[in-house]
């Protein structure tokens, strides 16, 4: 096993072909320039597809997603490739991936399946085949001396700015100000910047943090960007308060040293109570206009009472009909089905599923229920299984898969119904 792993890494680093078919089929080569990087820094992985003729359509490459690894395609991720093999020119495509380990550790990148369509050398007809690349490992390694950084952040440069919207020295109870802290990074994506200014605990001030805003930029493969944290502070009592400084330690990739940055503390002084705005004086009462308005209201009331006495039963019957019609509609029954799935009540699910399917079958016969029925069967199997707890991750995944299958089946049914209605429309110019 150990020698097989070493041989696999050797193939990845040297770009040895992964697959070839008797000199006539596609040839796939992979290369990994390096298998170890600082967390947040990219590893370049390339996949090259070569064929003896040409590619009528682009290959379908895998995503290579893995836990704790960010996989991205750089700008111009795909490009043409050519090579002379056996004295004959071969052409193809090279796809580049950037793999970012998010934390320290070793991570397994799964095997990837590539769907290739190429022209047959003899008949020139399109041939579709699939080739699987080997799995491999990458490592996120924290530089020596920076193990105490928690959370860890490595970049070429990091700066921090803080601004205040409002006057912190002249606030009253109920007044608010907005505190904005921005961290600029270069050499790393802003998604790797940890939270730094949202844990503000100051008595006498109510703290309302907003969702952080990330803005990313890329210049010739170099990532940079900003993380902006905005917090609203509302004064709840008189007194003097201090918002502590925001600090952030990081590893400088250029100097190889740990550096720290900080945004200054903010002093807040609440010295006055907010004075309510004066209310405008009420104008003199116009009794004639008030009496006329009251008479109009009385007449409208009498008319409404007369209509209600005469047509109450008809109106209530119509309202009940509308309500029953709504509850029997496909949209309402599907909404109840979704609620049953999210409640993970198997008995309720079976009742509402039957109601919804019967309604759909009346409007669109011969529906394809295969995917939906399979998802229900999996939920039932896991729910009645004694080996799989209902709160396990596998059980939750089966319910999530059932919800996805229900929505997909409904979309297919609605599209089929629309197509049928369009086909049944009369001709615009009948003869």
- Look at strands 78-85 and 136-140 and give their pairing: unpaired
Query: Which residues are CB-neighbours of 105 under 8 A, at least 6 positions away?
Result: 68, 139, 140
How distant, in Å, are the alpha carbons of 326, 341, 398 from that of 407? 20, 11, 14
Confidence (pLDDT) at 272: 62
Locate the DSSP E strands across 56-156. Answer: 69-72, 78-85, 88-101, 105-109, 113-119, 126-132, 136-140, 154-155
Q: What is the DSSP letter of 190?
A: G
Phi-psi bin for 305: left (phi > 0), alpha (psi -120 to 50), beta? alpha
How many Å apart are CA 166 and CA 169, to the nearest integer? 9
- Look at strands 157-165 and 205-209 and give their pairing: unpaired
- Contact (CB, 8 A) for 28 and 19: yes
For helices 370-384 and 393-423, what crossing angle results, to 10°?
A: 160
Query: Which residues are CB-neighbours of 289 under 8 A, at least 6 positions away?
Result: none
- Contact (CB, 8 A) for 79 and 91: no
Per-residue pLDDT of the chain (431 residues; tens, 9 = 90+): 333 344 444 444 444 455 554 557 899 999 999 999 999 999 999 999 999 999 999 999 999 999 999 999 988 889 999 999 888 999 999 999 999 999 999 999 999 999 999 999 888 899 999 999 999 999 999 999 888 888 899 999 999 998 998 888 888 888 888 989 999 999 999 989 988 766 677 777 888 888 899 999 888 778 899 999 888 888 888 888 888 888 889 999 999 999 999 888 888 888 866 445 556 655 667 788 888 888 899 999 888 888 888 887 887 888 888 888 888 888 898 899 899 888 888 888 888 888 888 888 887 777 788 888 888 888 888 777 666 565 667 878 888 888 898 888 888 888 877 766 655 556 555 55
- Contact (CB, 8 A) for 162 and 181: yes
How distant, in Å, are the alpha carbons of 357, 370, 379 from that of 350? 11, 16, 11
Phi, psi at 143, each rounded to 5°: -60, 145
Confidence (pLDDT) at 238: 85
Confidence (pLDDT) at 151: 86
Long-range own/partner contacts, residues 259-266 (CB < 8 A, 24 or more apart)? 259/158, 261/158, 261/159, 261/160, 262/160, 263/160, 263/161, 263/162, 263/181, 263/197, 264/162, 266/162, 266/164, 266/168, 266/179, 266/242
Q: Say whether 270 sits in a helix, a strand or coil.
A: strand
How many Å apart are CA 344 and CA 348, to the nearest integer? 9
Residue 230 neighbours by CB distance under 10 Å: 19
Query: Which residues are CB-neighbours of 268 under 8 A, at least 6 positions away?
Result: 168, 169, 171, 177, 205, 233, 235, 240, 241, 242, 243
Domains of the chain listed by start with CATH number: 2-140 (2.60.40), 154-273 (2.60.40), 330-421 (no CATH)
What is the number of residues in the chain? 431
Confidence (pLDDT) at 423: 58
Confidence (pLDDT) at 116: 95
Residue 176 neighbours by CB distance under 10 Å: 14
**Closest residue by Cα to residue 59 from 135, 124, 133:** 133
Locate the DSSP E strands across 105-221. Answer: 105-109, 113-119, 126-132, 136-140, 154-155, 157-165, 171-173, 176-186, 205-209, 213-219
């Amino acid at each position: 096993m150990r020698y097989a792993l070493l041989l696999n890494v050797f193939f990845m680093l040297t770009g040895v072909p992964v697959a070839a078919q008797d000199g006539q089929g596609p040839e796939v080569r992979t290369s990994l320039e390096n298998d170890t990087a600082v967390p947040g820094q990219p590893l370049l992985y390339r996949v090259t597809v070569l064929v003896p003729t040409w590619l009528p359509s682009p290959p379908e490459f895998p995503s290579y997603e893995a836990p704790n690894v960010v996989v991205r395609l750089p700008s111009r991720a795909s490009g043409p490739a050519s090579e002379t093999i056996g004295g004959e020119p071969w052409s193809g495509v090279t796809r580049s991936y950037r793999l970012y380990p998010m934390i320290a550790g070793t991570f397994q990148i799964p095997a990837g399946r590539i769907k290739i369509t190429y022209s047959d050398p003899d008949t020139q007809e399109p041939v579709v085949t699939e080739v699987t690349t080997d799995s491999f490992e990458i490592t996120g390694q924290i530089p020596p001396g920076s193990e105490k950084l928690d959370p860890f952040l490595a970049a070429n440069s990091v700066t921090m700015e803080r601004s205040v919207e409002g006057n912190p020295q002249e606030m009253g109870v109920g007044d608010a100000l907005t505190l904005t802290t921005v961290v600029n990074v270069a050499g790393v994506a802003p998604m790797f910047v940890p939270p730094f200014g949202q844990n503000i605990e100051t008595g006498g001030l109510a703290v309302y943090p907003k969702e952080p805003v990330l803005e990313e930029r890329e210049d010739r493969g170099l990532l940079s960007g900003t993380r902006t944290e905005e917090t609203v502070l509302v004064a709840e009592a008189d007194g003097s308060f201090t918002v502590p400084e925001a600090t952030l330690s990081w590893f400088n990739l250029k100097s190889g040293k740990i550096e720290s940055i900080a945004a200054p503390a903010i002093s807040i002084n609440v010295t006055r109570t907010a004075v309510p705005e004066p209310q405008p004086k009420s104008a003199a009462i116009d009794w004639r206009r008030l009496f006329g308005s009251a008479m109009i209201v009385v007449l409208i009331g009498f008319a409404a009472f007369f209509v209600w006495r005469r047509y109450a039963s008809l109106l209530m019957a119509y309202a009940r009909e509308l309500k029953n019609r709504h509850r029997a509609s496909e949209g309402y029954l599907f909404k109840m089905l979704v609620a049953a799935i999210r409640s993970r009540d198997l008995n309720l699910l079976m009742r509402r599923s039957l109601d919804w399917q019967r309604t759909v079958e009346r409007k669109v016969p011969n529906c394809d229920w295969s995917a939906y029925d399979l998802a229900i069967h999996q939920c039932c199997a896991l729910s009645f299984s004694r080996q799989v707890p209902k709160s396990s991750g596998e059980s939750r995944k089966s319910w999530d898969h059932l919800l996805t299958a229900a929505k997909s089946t409904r979309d297919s049914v609605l599209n089929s119904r629309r197509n049928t209605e369009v086909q049944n429309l009369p001709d615009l110019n009948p003869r």
